[in-house]
Structure 1
Amino acid sequence: MNPSPPRVLQGVAANLLSEVLPRIPTPFGQQLVGIAAMLDMMVAEEFDRAADRLVTENRIVRDLLAAGCGLLGDAVPPSVPEALAAPAAPSLRVSDLQRENDLLRAALIDLHAAVEQTPGPAARDLEERIWAELVESTRRRHLSARP
């Protein structure tokens, strides 16, 4: 048997809610069990999508940083070319992908601030692309509503 971590976590959550919660006599204890079950469900969902989300975001942010280098030239913040020069994550481990994401996002913040100060339609277009990715990256992190 090869248990799927999301399925195991969802099973634990279901058992906490259906078997354990009704046996807890205090409201505080019931609340703790309910929170633990909801956390299990959230971790199960994030486990299944985290690597894909990070690979997608890292690719998009690298593209935005490259566009910023082309737009700003010598005025690009130093963190941007440094982030672009950093190697991609050495594996698909979430911890490796997250380290890459953290580096790229820090550079994106610097780029965004510089682009906001840059006049012209090309800067507004890049600023709009950056905002669109920030909105989309938030959407990628939304958790499914569970009954």
Structure 2
Amino acid sequence: MAKDLVERVIPAISPAYHQGTIGMIANMLSITGEEWDRGASRRIEENGRLREIFRDGAKVSKNAALNTRLIRLAESTDSDFRISALESDNCTLRATLIELHAQIEKQSGPEARRLEEIIWRELARSTERRRLSTAPF
């Protein structure tokens, strides 16, 4: 639909204001389609990666209460593949990652620095996973 709007509808209408509106709608349809296609996959990949980090984090963190949650979350799985369920799990995992990151930043030693680097790498990768193919940056 987005391609049809750009190739067929925009050239057939005027004024330029209406063309711009149709262009914006076409862009929104493209973004929606891209997210629709990758939505579950991106969240499953990220949730799995966060669980891996939590396995390492439970060995490095010196906070017993946090470690208990890290272990519980590391052992959890995505069993409901609806986007809303995956997103809910992702929000829980990401909130715990923030807590782990804050804890690790306060700790000294090579294991804490290694885990901190792993966390930063995952944060960068999660940003890349969200990148739109149509984004100019």
Report the TM range for the smaller structure's normalisation.
0.7 to 0.9
1:36 and 2:25 equivalent?
yes
The aligned residue for residue 124 of structure 1 is 113
The aligned residue for residue 87 of structure 2 is 98
TM-score (norm 2): 0.85
Q: Structure 2: 5+ residue runs without aligned partners?
A: none
Q: Note closer, same or farther for the CA distance 1:99–1:91 as it changes in structure 2 (3 Å cut).
A: same
Q: Which runs of 4+ in 1 moved over 2 A?
A: 73-83, 85-90
Q: Structure 1: 5+ residue runs without aligned partners?
A: 1-11
CA shift, 1:32, in A, is 1.3
Are the counterparts in 2 of residues 89 and 97 from structure 1 also a CA contact under 8 Å? yes
TM-score (norm 1): 0.80
Q: Tell me which amino acid in the other structure corresponds to 2:59.
A: G
Write the deviation string for residues 110-130 of structure 1: whole angstroms up to 9, x where unpaired: 111111111010000000000
Q: Note closer, same or farther for the CA distance 1:83–1:103 as it changes in structure 2 (3 Å cut).
A: farther
The aligned residue for residue 6 of structure 1 is none
Are the counterparts in 2 of residues 24 and 30 from structure 1 also a CA contact under 8 Å? yes
1:23 and 2:12 equivalent?
yes
Task: State the superposition RMSD in angstroms.
Answer: 2.3
Q: 1:1-147 counterparts in 2 under 5 A?
A: 12-75=1-64, 77=66, 80-81=69-70, 84=73, 87-145=76-134
CA shift, 1:26, in A, is 2.5
Are the counterparts in 1 of residues 51 and 75 from structure 2 also a CA contact under 8 Å? no
* Inter-partner Cα distance in structure 2 for 1:27 and 1:82: 57
Are the counterparts in 2 of residues 83 and 103 from structure 1 also a CA contact under 8 Å? no
CA shift, 1:145, in A, is 3.5
Q: Tell me which amino acid in the other structure corresponds to 2:111.
A: A
Write the deviation string for residues 3-28 of structure 1: whole angstroms up to 9, x where unpaired: xxxxxxxxx00111122212332332
Are the counterparts in 1 of residues 54 and 71 from structure 2 also a CA contact under 8 Å? no
The aligned residue for residue 7 of structure 1 is none
Instruction: Provide the aligned length of Structure 1 versus Structure 2.
Output: 135
Query: Secondary structure of the residue that 1:91 maps to in structure 2?
Result: coil
